[in-house]
Amino acid sequence: MVRNFLLVVSVLHWSRVCSWIKQAAGAVGALQKGLTMLRRRETAKSSAWARMANGICAAFVGLGLAGPALAGPFETTLLGAGQLFSNNALGDNLDRWQTGGVAASWVYGRKAASWAEAQAPGQVIELRFGGRVVAPANLVAPGVDRLYAGALSLGAHTHYQTKGWDVAMGLDLMMTGPQTGLDDFHSNLHRIPGIPGVAPGVSAAQVDNGLHPTFVMELGRDIALGPVQLRPFVEARAGAETLVRLGGDLTFGRVGSGELLVRDEVTGQRYRAVTDPMPGFAFVLGGDIAAVKSSVFFPARSPVTMEDSRSRVRAGLHWQGQKHAAFYGVTWASEEFTTQSEGQVIGSFQIDFNF
């Protein structure tokens, strides 16, 4: 329990994240001014891509990163938000490989309406934050194992529907290496209860500092099969990790129906971001397989060789009450490098309390 708490908190290293965001705020402000000038030149038939650029800037404005409040010229409003916490200790009770992470989303639209009304890029924008720790199985004496890595990411994604398909598309900027501070924070938290932290040699050999722009796109659609809902999907990533993934999810129950759910990068679990609360339960099953071309987590100097394919199988349970909601799920993830002894089980949870 202590180990799980510490690893979850380690990916919530908000002080370092806030410092990074402040550095980006100036650039976002300049982008906003440029987009305002662009809007003045747009005709009534402005392109979808111009609207997408305006929406991305609006998402940053919505969190106060680029100046004025939401009531400004972009006329956006917060449609919903959601977070998912994942940890290896919540699955097979270990502390290794994909050991801990958090994903958080804030979704904005031009009016307080169903996100499903978006028919073009830029009408609904999701601001997404991610943080995770990747570690060898032994933080003190890892032997021949994967490199330690801390990663933080911030991105903007647009959601819309076309010809019966849900489209999620956007760009993340991922920061890796010692500059994230996750190795130090991880070690300091472990030392409080006397758990060994990240050994100096492991920290020194971690994945290098870097900034990695990453394009992400997912296509999915819901197919009703009586009381069950099937959602096949295909996902493509190019950047920090370059891969193509094909999979599907089954939902038994009404919770989450008609809502905007966001897929977690590591586990593939979908967490609720824009909700239409209906009390009840929903059980989910899913799986996918990916062809992997490259990954910053396996650089040329890595002592291990990356697998060129990955598989995941997951299950979870959503609960929605009158005011509160919760989710818990587990994901089995296959080996990510050739000498990895076995796959791993990662637990994930989401809690939403409204008072």
Dump pLDDT digits (tens) for 266-325. Answer: 999 999 999 988 899 999 999 999 999 999 999 999 999 999 999 999 999 999 999 899
pLDDT (tens digit, 9 = 90+) per residue, 222-279? 999 999 999 999 999 999 999 999 999 999 999 998 899 999 999 999 999 999 888 9
Tell me the per-residue pLDDT of 18-30, one tens digit each, with 9 for 90 and over.
444 444 444 334 3
- Spatial neighbors of 165 by CB under 8 A, at least 6 apart, are 219, 220, 221
pTM (two decimals): 0.80
Q: ∠332-338-339 over CA atoms, to 5°?
A: 95
Please tell me the distance from the alpha carbon of residue 141 to that of residue 137, in angstroms, as a whole number. 9
**Domains defined along the chain, listed by start:** 2-352 (2.40.128.140)
What local confidence, expressed as pLDDT, does residue 8 receive?
A: 41
User: Please, how many CA atoms are within 13 Å of residue 229, restricted to the half-sphere of its CB?
Assistant: 16
| pLDDT of amino acid 251 | 98
- With a cut of 70, say whether residue 113 has pLDDT above it: no
- Percent with pLDDT over 90 in the chain: 63
Q: What would the pLDDT profile of 68-83 be if each residue is shown by its tens digit? A: 333 344 567 899 999 9
- pLDDT of 18: 41
- CA-to-CA separations, 261 to 80, 107, 120, 166, 269, in angstroms, rounded: 10, 11, 18, 11, 9
